Structure 1
Amino acid sequence: MRKSLLISGVAAVAAVALVGCSGQAETDASGEASEWPESITISLVPSVEGADLAEALDPLTSYLSDNLGIEINGVVASEYSATVEALGSDQAQVVITDAGSLYNAIERYDAELILRDVRFGATSYASVAYTNNPAKYCAEAPVMATYAASGIELSYCNGIEQGTAAGAGPAGLEALELIDNGTEVALQAATSPAGYQYPVVAMRELGIDTDADITQIPVEGNNNSVLAVYNGDAEVGFAYWDARTTVTEEAPDIAEQVVAFAYTDLIPNGGVAVSSSLPDDLVTQLTALMDAYADSSEEAATVMFDLVGLSDWTSETEIGEITRYGEILAQFSN
């Protein structure tokens, strides 16, 4: 098992009950009996406020308990890294967490990735390079394509989109080479995958010294990165696909004034990982149940979106995207 450590220090872990030592015997695929624990604990960082947590968690844990026949507990982690520590200390056996924490759980504790988060039909998203100077960064005139999630038409160039926008990267990255010395580039905090990490790696891989060759314009949030380009404070800015939809009220002509000209590698959504201590047959059933949860009822779909901001889970995990994310995180771990 590989032991690389990307997060220094030990995050505080929410106090939870330890798993029971014994449980029911089940028969696995080979016909041999496997001992299931009497209970398992899920650790997650919810989207809801703490006061609503018990109510928000109950439908999911009850659904799993009823179908698995064992007790399922849900607990809150104070931050995503705390879910990793909960799994490593066996205070949780299942974690619903972000991509970086999934990578750490796999690398440090031999966790198994079983599901990926689905938001609006996608398990990953690109960071987008935006500009207010298409004459410089676009090889041809921008075209309009529909952003299906909102039905808004937005402008793209360098062949990265046509018709209905898909947001699939990498695409058009060679245009980043046109960022010359002193160019003002809007970048978010160094912890932001879409607003800093993936764009900086993309520029560095094209030979751009992001500390010396560009003028970094610090911004807070994806919307402000787009607005920095719109307002002329930066010639280029980076944000998630497609953050222009977040500023249409204050900038109704955003589609004409700010053009998307490149996509980075795809940034993975988070997902669900389980402890290597869980029996294989239990993991198989748990995976199938969680995969089917969003479609199990209208209440389930609502709970899932309200609880963790997701529309679904999928067992198509695309582990390579998580690995790439870990490699990029490693460049910013210090």
Structure 2
Amino acid sequence: MFKRLSIALIAFTTLIFLAACGNGDDEEVITLGFIPSQDAGDIATTAEPLAERLSEELGVKVEAEVMVDFVGLVEAMREQQVDIGFLNPFGFVQAEERADVEVLLKAERHGETSYKAQYSVPADSDIQSIDDLVEQEGLVWAFADTLSTSGYLFPAKQLKDMGVEDLASHFEQISVGGHDNAMMQLVDGAADFATTFDDARDTLRDEFPDIDDRIRVIGYTDPIPNDTISVRSGLDDELKEDIKEAFLSFNDDEEMLEVLNEIYTWTGIAEAKSEDYDIVRDVFAEFEDELAE
């Protein structure tokens, strides 16, 4: 079941955001846009030092906004209300197509600029492998969002390639709004398996120090290029270069690396180009019609 927010709800959410962005003065403001991979309020608070440091580096006021979902961030960038978007791979591909955004940078995690989607189950589950998911019908599958690259799209493509003809009828799918929430479905016994980034168990480690004993990993997808830092269309070239250099300088700034790690588990930043995301475009092409419903 591919349930998306209705067009009316998306429009309503976007209008509220756009109205909130109007500050009624002429002060130049650069807006950072985030999508929730964990609790939105936590991201907003954690991102404040990042916005403050960028403001110092760029010489203009920088504000952080957490959007409802991927669609809201893409639309805000299209409407020129968000200048810098922390877009996941699929979100970037969508934003490039719909809003003419430009990718500048991508995440590093422990020296890697790609990652894998992870399949997890409760530790006491009888499920031992991805093959078991293909062979059993009716399992409850928890994921962040149908537009999530690692949470849904890459696992969905892999499961179809392994023989699941109709995902909606083979699984009971529940979209829960964040990778930490998908993990919680396993902790609470509300789902049989979850797909997330690797290793989303870390998002619950403070609350559940024994999380590795509660949740077991059974497999991974092929590599996925890491999340992006992208900018809206029409942004001044000199400003784009300043933004790129400011973020790259954070590789030598332990405080900023700690902030980025807390927000999205980034451990560094690397330069990026559009063609790095061709594999994501290929996966999206297979699901484009279904996701448009």
* TM-score normalized by the length of structure 2: 0.66
Do structure 1's residue 222 and structure 2's residue 183 form an aligned pair? yes
Q: 2:220 pairs with 260, 263, 269, which one?
A: 263
Q: 1:117 pairs with 107, 113, 127, which one?
A: 107
Distance (whole Å) between structure 2 residues aligned to residue 133 and residue 49 of structure 1: 32
2:33/2:85 contact within 8 Å kept: yes
1:300 CA displacement: 2.0
Q: How does 1:132-211 map to 2 (within 5 A)?
A: 132=126, 176=131, 179-180=134-135, 182-183=136-137, 185-189=139-143, 191=146, 193-194=149-150, 196-211=152-167
Correspondence for 2:179: none
User: How many residues matched?
Assistant: 262
1:278 CA displacement: 1.7
Q: 1:315 pairs with 257, 261, 271, which one?
A: 271
Q: Residue 202 of structure 1: SS of its match in structure 2?
A: helix
Structure 1 residues 107 and 242: alpha-carbon distance in aligned structure 2, compared to 1, 3 A threshold: same
1:187 CA displacement: 1.6
Deviation per CA, 1:219-243: give whole Å up to 9, x if none. 9623645997xxxx96xx4533346
Higher helix residue share: 2
Q: 2:258 pairs with 264, 277, 302, which one?
A: 302
Structure 1 residues 325 and 73: alpha-carbon distance in aligned structure 2, compared to 1, 3 A threshold: farther
Q: Residue 261 of structure 2: SS of its match in structure 1?
A: helix
Q: Residue 222 of structure 2: SS of its match in structure 1?
A: strand
Do structure 1's residue 291 and structure 2's residue 280 form an aligned pair? no
Matched-pair identity in %: 22
5+ long unaligned stretches in structure 2: 177-181
Q: Residue 223 of structure 2: SS of its match in structure 1?
A: strand
Q: Residue 102 of structure 1: SS of its match in structure 2?
A: helix
Q: How does 1:234-245 map to 2 (within 5 A)?
A: 237-240=193-196, 241-242=198-199
Correspondence for 2:77: 87
Q: 1:281 pairs with 210, 213, 238, which one?
A: 238
1:200/1:210 contact within 8 Å kept: no
Do structure 1's residue 104 and structure 2's residue 103 form an aligned pair? no
Do structure 1's residue 73 and structure 2's residue 29 form an aligned pair? no
Structure 1 residues 279 and 97: alpha-carbon distance in aligned structure 2, compared to 1, 3 A threshold: same
Deviation per CA, 1:199-223: give whole Å up to 9, x if none. 3322323443235884658696236
Correspondence for 1:25: none
Deviation per CA, 1:286-328: give whole Å up to 9, x if none. 11211222423x3222333345543332213522244245435
2:106/2:226 contact within 8 Å kept: yes
Distance (whole Å) between structure 2 residues aligned to residue 7 and residue 270 of structure 1: 26
Give the residue type in structure 2 aligned to 1:291. L
Structure 1 residues 87 and 253: alpha-carbon distance in aligned structure 2, compared to 1, 3 A threshold: closer
2:127/2:133 contact within 8 Å kept: no
CA-atom RMSD in angstroms: 4.4
Distance (whole Å) between structure 1 residues aligned to residue 98 and residue 137 of structure 2: 40
Q: How does 1:18-29 map to 2 (within 5 A)?
A: none
Distance (whole Å) between structure 2 residues aligned to residue 319 and residue 328 of structure 1: 15
Distance (whole Å) between structure 2 residues aligned to residue 187 and residue 72 of structure 1: 42
2:31/2:65 contact within 8 Å kept: no
5+ long unaligned stretches in structure 1: 1-5, 22-36, 138-174
1:94/1:275 contact within 8 Å kept: yes
Give the residue type in structure 2 aligned to 1:323. R
Structure 1 residues 200 and 91: alpha-carbon distance in aligned structure 2, compared to 1, 3 A threshold: closer
1:104 CA displacement: 2.3
Q: Residue 201 of structure 1: SS of its match in structure 2?
A: helix
Distance (whole Å) between structure 1 residues aligned to residue 33 and residue 277 of structure 2: 21
Deviation per CA, 1:63-104: give whole Å up to 9, x if none. 334433x41321313323332222212222222233333222
1:111/1:275 contact within 8 Å kept: yes
Correspondence for 1:172: none
* TM-score normalized by the length of structure 1: 0.59
Further displaced range: 95-104 or 41-50: 41-50
Structure 1 residues 50 and 215: alpha-carbon distance in aligned structure 2, compared to 1, 3 A threshold: closer
Q: Bigger radius of gyration, 1 or 2?
A: 1
